[in-house]
Amino acid sequence: MTAQMTSGAEHSIKTSISNITSRANVTEKLSMDWVLFAVVIVLTLVGLVMSYSTTFYASAALRNNPFAQFENQLIHAGIGLVLLVILSRIDYGFWHGVSPYLAVLTIVALGAVLAFGDARFGAKRAFSEGSIQPSEAAKITILLYAATWLSSRRDELGSLLMGVVPFVIILAIGTVTILFEPDLSTTVIILIAAFAMFYVAGARIHHLLIVLGIAVLLATTMMNAPVFTHVAARMRDYLVSMQGGIPHQQIQQAMAAFREGGLLGVGVGGGFAKYFLYTAHTDSVFAVLADETGLLGLAVTLGLFVILVYRAFRIAQRADSYMGAYWAIGLSTWIIMQTLLNSLAMVGLIPLPGIPVPFLSIGGSSLISVLCACGILLSISRGSNKMARAEMERSMPKRKNELTAGGRANHGASSIIRRRYSRSRTTRPDRSGAAEDDGNTLIGRDVKFKTSLGKRSAGSAQTRLSGFIHRRAGRNGTGSGQTRGR
């Protein structure tokens, strides 16, 4: 009798797992963030229009073909969109296991750039005459490894020696080669994104302030190094211009473009500001956009960026694993910070950072990397069957042992599994609830699936993630609201 009950319960477990897998596959086709996808497509099209508008004159003069640079950007956009679709269809859990290898490969590629890269404008940042720039791919792979590391060390992030110091060492190894290309702006972007992930994962504020102070001290010291003389000169020019009340010449030209464009602009391709702006097709593309589409067109474009980042943060909030949530935070922080820094520079609030605007600036590597990042965000929005299956497999031995207890315990184990896995996993996960094993939560190394998938726990109203993921994973495992108490 007991053997029959055990056999029946095991069959029920297998059926339940099969059900959740099939339902997850059905849900997967419906749960992708189509709003984010639409915004990405529109921004890519806007970028292609601006790429032609800012380069046709120079292309005609230098290459006798006004479409030369536009065609190149169009090809890269096509490659990027294909990769976006592919990455959105790949279960993002796949990248969890290969993240260390990608990190090593990235470091090797960055070292190869320093040794064998093309020297342009006093820097070695790319191969093949600037068309292949490994630091753009490094934004994705370094943030991936950081997300994987953070998700596996959640119980140690509150410690200075076990959490902060190893994380800083990992970032230093990943970014030192980028720093000495030299590419200070990309280094800063990666570090900001990584520490945004670290903060959300549960780092202590005073630890982050200590790291920030050390970073500022090192940056101030390094400005005197020969490799960073151009950065120091740019800072001096900016400070002198601010003291004299006369902005830098590029800022003056950018402000003139804003004034000339007015509310509705002079028409796409009809602006004259791009002929006077330095690097109008990259750093100053916002000024050209304002000149030709007006403040209204600029506001709409910036609004699209706001929607993109909002949807990305919602994906992080609803992600079904800590790795997915942290990676989404890092990727979205990278995109918004790169856009924000360029915008602030165009109005003279900060020195010119020398970084492209995502989607809008000319640059094949930059465009492909941003589209790949958006493809990964779409994959995270779909969820990870791979991680769900791995977590269920880890829980199976425990459940099978419970089946041998006999009688009502067998029936109870079977019914819990059925209740746990028979529903769709598209409902919002409760990250903070994963810290408590109340019998309704599946506890594992990385995955934070809520086992009562369609229901809220009693404390979920206070602990569930919302807004800017204000309940962060804490020191004692995976929790936040109740674990950290703040």
SS3 content of the chain, % helix, strand, coil (to 5): 70, 5, 30
DSSP-derived secondary structure for 371-393: HHHHHHHHHHHH--HHHHHHHHH
Rounded to the nearest 10 degrees, how much is the dihedral formed by the CA atoms of 111, 113, 119, 120? -110
Please determine, for residue 454, whether its predicted confidence score (pLDDT) is greater than 50. Answer: no
- Residue 115 pLDDT: 79
- Residue 433 pLDDT: 37
pLDDT in tens, 175-196: 888 887 778 888 889 999 999 9
Cα(232)–Cα(398) distance, integer angstroms = 60
- Beta carbons within 8 Å of 25's beta carbon, 6+ residues apart: 385
- Residue 301 pLDDT: 95
- The closest of 310, 324, 362, 367 to 139, measured between CA atoms, is 367
pLDDT band at 121 (very low <50, low <70, confident <90, very high): low
- Residue 306 pLDDT: 95
- The closest of 267, 224, 233, 311 to 37, measured between CA atoms, is 311
- Residue 4 pLDDT: 52
Q: Within 13 A of 97's CA, how many CA atoms are on the CB side?
A: 6
pLDDT in tens, 368-399: 999 999 999 999 998 888 777 776 776 665 55
> To the nearest whole percent, how much of the chain has pLDDT over 70?
68
Give the distance, in angstroms, between the CA of residue 446 and the centroid of all CA atoms in the same chain: 18
pLDDT band at 7 (very low <50, low <70, confident <90, very high): low
pLDDT band at 87 (very low <50, low <70, confident <90, very high): very high
Burial grade of 473 (CB within 10 A; 0-12, 13-18, 19 or more) = buried
Please determine, for residue 210, whether its predicted confidence score (pLDDT) is greater than 80. Answer: yes
- Residue 452 pLDDT: 32
Please determine, for residue 162, whether its predicted confidence score (pLDDT) is greater than 60. Answer: yes
Please determine, for residue 406, whether its predicted confidence score (pLDDT) is greater than 60. Answer: no
- Residue 337 pLDDT: 93
- Which one is predicted more confidently, 304 or 113? 304
- Residue 348 pLDDT: 78
Please determine, for residue 150, whether its predicted confidence score (pLDDT) is greater than 50. Answer: yes
pLDDT in tens, 216-225: 887 777 766 6
- Residue 65 pLDDT: 86
pLDDT band at 130 (very low <50, low <70, confident <90, very high): low
* Residue ranges of domains in the chain: 2-25+386-484, 33-382
Q: What is the mean pLDDT of residues 262-284?
A: 82
pLDDT band at 13 (very low <50, low <70, confident <90, very high): very low
DSSP-derived secondary structure for 351-364: -----PPTTTSS-H
- The closest of 40, 38, 35 to 368, measured between CA atoms, is 40
Pairing of strands 123-126, 118-120: antiparallel
Amino acid at site 249: Q
Please determine, for residue 409, whether its predicted confidence score (pLDDT) is greater than 50. Answer: no
- The closest of 115, 32, 20 to 381, measured between CA atoms, is 32
- Lowest mean pLDDT of 71-80, 117-126, 179-188, 331-340, name the range: 117-126
Cα(338)–Cα(327) distance, integer angstroms = 17
- Report the mean per-residue pLDDT for the chain: 74
- Lowest mean pLDDT of 102-106, 132-136, 189-193, 241-245, name the range: 241-245
